Structure 1
């Protein structure tokens, strides 16, 4: 099933696996989670994303049973899980540190929880071997954790967490200890394993790229509240606030005053500059607005384009060369800096623009997002 077809949150008849109902968690005077309600569905790969201290780990610890809500209810499969101790929940957690037993082999680490359950002994061997195969570490079964790499330890921890076939697997920054290349490869493996097992995954991360890669939906959090919960595409293309836009990827945020222009708005943003024409996706009133546009939606050229109403001139202040593309920081006459990206089709020594070059930036009427306030 592709992520495009999988959208139970749009089906009014779909029953959520997890329901947070007006959940609050306080530690003394500090409110970590603030009157939060959300539904998470079976087989979702759901990401909790936000800066340190936003409440995402507290949400996960309440699901695992390590913390109890101060107020509100958490339901798993329609049942209040607050009274159920962590070891009795159909929930498993994979910790950031992996928490493997150093004195046990890979095989015995995976078998540990099964041996303490009521699973018949003859089925344990079969289950462990299935898990070893699932995460592709069969040949390391008899090694100890210190005899394998960080990426392999991460797979052992994943296999151990999945061994008891939980309804829900919680992943706390599971890839943070891996280097970037291995982390990217492992993201796709995690998605593959999640799809094969059909287990609901909830991942906590502060890595925007990771959340956008693996998740069916992303919840962007701040100060214990959900700011936006949506698919990665919607979060990126249609952020509901400047906070979300700024938190996910690179962005230009230009503030100004809007006046209606048919189904569009004209935004006065700087003296002596032409007004920006934007197309709001939802009605906005006249007055203060934020115009949000991604650098890759902006075209950079040496000549003024004749086919676009949105065209401003400035000079190249800085260039970030990223191999496949370059980000140009272009300073407007009033000092505002706008970032534009262009693909590098030529070698670096022949980039089309360099520092101090006068350039034109242009974009279509629908390239940006217009938000009130």
Structure 2
């Protein structure tokens, strides 16, 4: 059945043309599934048959939750009943990246968009499903190449940085050692002249210590404020691509990822690769934090602050942040992971601050941690 109704003359004849409808269902590239207000499958396109491994005759009249993993399968009917009762949409008209289940029981990431319509036969819902697996495989190959290049770049950069630090810090550290050795040699003398010289040597050592600290801060600021190629990008596209890549390799217990982005602050001025790296780190951290949670849910949303900035929030339903970790989250080499290096969040902070924003963490309203970061909204042309 077609879920759309037209007021144009001949609409009934058009809707009644079953052969024409079948040709549409056979050629539409994304899987299209139509259900009634009880969640029962009314039509199942050819793309849906290929994607899920079911023939239409096998699923017709069955609840659409058969295509979902737990816990979504169990919760779906409740979600639908709440929408029909309240009219408050969490997915309909919004879209999200989530997980579906094939006929063989395997799970795979999808991008889901749902619309509803009132027809002569009653209320119907049409879902368009895009399999993100193939795109993820291509992105994974590209990401592997980028990761290898980034590794080489990091090794080269760390070598250059180590050389620069050694060169810059050698002079003040040598001076500190000389001043302290001189002061030590004078400690055996208690006359006023010796005490004055000791005091002067310690003052000079302290001054050289401050200089060494300034060198380190200057190099850190240079790295943090490095130039990047900023362009006007769609925040929704950045989030969708990063989310799909983050779900790659997450296994059968993939998180249910819901995207709720504000349409009035979609255009942002960013370096696309860098901001996707921030999103990728935060989403993967969220997935890892929830590996023992019975309910794995991630919500990504955005809101404008009214002053030219948009806040992006990545929240999870995991156990939350340990109190003693809050003050050191973004420090390099600080990690709670057994095999982590503690650089992910530090890199996120460096990237966000280089974009003129800030990043911080708070408890999430869905039970875990919520990481917030701000970006500049692109000015209208």
Higher strand share: 1
TM-score range, shorter chain: under 0.3
The structure with the largest alpha-carbon Rg is 2
TM-score in terms of structure 2 length: 0.25
Higher relative contact order (CA 8 A, sep 6+): 1
